[in-house]
């Protein structure tokens, strides 16, 4: 229950809860005490640091994302009815799929629920309930990959001191979530779906480019020159929807405080670095702790960690794997 409560708190923009010393188990206190004075700057610099670029999980994630979106394309071009539709609503070998946030927007706008939409929503809900977190964002969403590439350019510009990264409050995303829902309810029009780069890029891949890609290009330019991952971090309500569903998922990334050297590489590459605040010395609640459901499960922290203190696990099965 504490995991669900903390996950939802972070999803809606609150900072991770800092544990008091009284809340931390004795074993964890001893681990921190043992590390005191030993993790010097010189020692941390001597650690062999891994690159997250084309790491094991990044390769798997990129291939999965490209494969899913390629299936949409070949299904349409060859008319083989394998994966029909687009990212917002589709049908895979006869099974209906409906993006949860898109389905919510449609229900609010049109004030009724059709059977196929209900079936598609239930199917996707079950799928992402099993996979957990914001897995959709990093493993399936086509805009996420474009934004990820734009991020490399943004970080290079920041390193060269050509631009400065502008940060916004994380609760901004929750505000937009409510705004988009109210707009659909009041106007009878799915406003978010019109401007969502996820849907725009998905349809462009399948049916060909349109003028809407100008909007996507403007977003990417803003992310390159102004704010790192602006849309995903501060606007898109899709992440909130899937993160809320993913609180009950058995698939998680587990942090091991005993193995961690607190060098901070994982937080530097993470799209949602607040979920990795537990890796800061003194911030963990237990020796082993699961990252909250606001985590995108991208695996970049697992790839880059030099001490193997972050790893995927399946809750309930980890003892047998």
Nearest to 291 by CA among 278, 280, 304, 306: 278
- For the segment 79-97, what is each residue's pLDDT rounded down to a tens digit? 887 888 888 878 887 778 8
Q: What is the pLDDT of residues 167-199, one digit of tens each?
A: 999 999 999 999 999 999 999 989 999 999 999
**For tokens 């708190």, what's the residue?**
9
- Mean pLDDT over 239-263 rounds to 91
Closest listed residue to residue 196, CA positions, set 120, 89, 66? 89
Which pTM value belongs to this model? 0.89
Structure tokens at 283: 């911030």
Q: What is the pLDDT of residues 91-136, one digit of tens each?
A: 887 778 888 888 888 888 888 777 778 888 888 888 888 887 789 9
Location of structure tokens 């922290």: 301
Confidence at residue 68, expressed as pLDDT on a 0 to 100 scale: 93
Q: Do 192 and 101 contact (CB within 8 A), yes or no?
A: yes
CA 119/CA 8 separation, integer angstroms: 26
Q: Is the pLDDT of residue 286 over 90?
A: yes
């Amino acid at each position: 229950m504490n995991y669900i409560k903390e996950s939802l708190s972070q999803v809606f923009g609150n900072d991770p809860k800092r544990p008091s010393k009284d809340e931390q188990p004795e074993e964890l206190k001893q681990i921190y005490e043992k590390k005191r004075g030993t993790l010097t700057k010189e020692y941390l610099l001597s650690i062999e640091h891994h690159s997250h670029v084309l790491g094991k999980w990044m390769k798997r994630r990129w291939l999965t994302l490209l494969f899913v979106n390629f299936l949409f394309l070949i299904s349409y071009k060859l008319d083989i009815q394998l994966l029909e539709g687009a990212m917002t609503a589709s049908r895979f070998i006869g099974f209906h799929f409906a993006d949860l946030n898109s389905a919510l927007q449609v229900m609010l706008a049109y004030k009724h629920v059709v059977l196929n939409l209900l079936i598609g929503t239930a199917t996707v809900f079950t799928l992402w309930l099993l996979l957990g977190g914001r897995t959709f964002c990093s493993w399936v969403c086509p805009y996420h990959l474009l934004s990820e590439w734009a991020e490399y350019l943004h970080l290079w510009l920041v390193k060269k001191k050509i631009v400065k990264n502008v940060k916004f409050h994380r609760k901004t995303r929750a505000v937009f979530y409510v705004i988009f829902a109210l707009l659909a309810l009041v106007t009878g029009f799915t406003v978010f779906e019109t401007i969502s780069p996820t849907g725009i890029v998905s349809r462009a891949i399948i049916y060909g480019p349109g003028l809407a890609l100008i909007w996507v290009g403007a977003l990417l330019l803003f992310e390159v020159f102004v704010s790192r991952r602006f849309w995903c971090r501060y606007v898109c309500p899709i992440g909130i929807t899937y993160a809320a569903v993913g609180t009950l998922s058995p698939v998680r990334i587990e942090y091991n405080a005993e193995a961690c050297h607190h060098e901070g590489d994982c937080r530097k590459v993470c799209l949602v670095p607040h979920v990795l605040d537990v890796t800061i010395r003194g911030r963990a609640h237990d020796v082993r702790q699961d990252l909250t459901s606001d985590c995108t499960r991208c695996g970049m922290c697992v790839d880059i960690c030099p001490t193997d203190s972050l790893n995927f696990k399946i809750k309930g099965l980890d003892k047998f794997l």
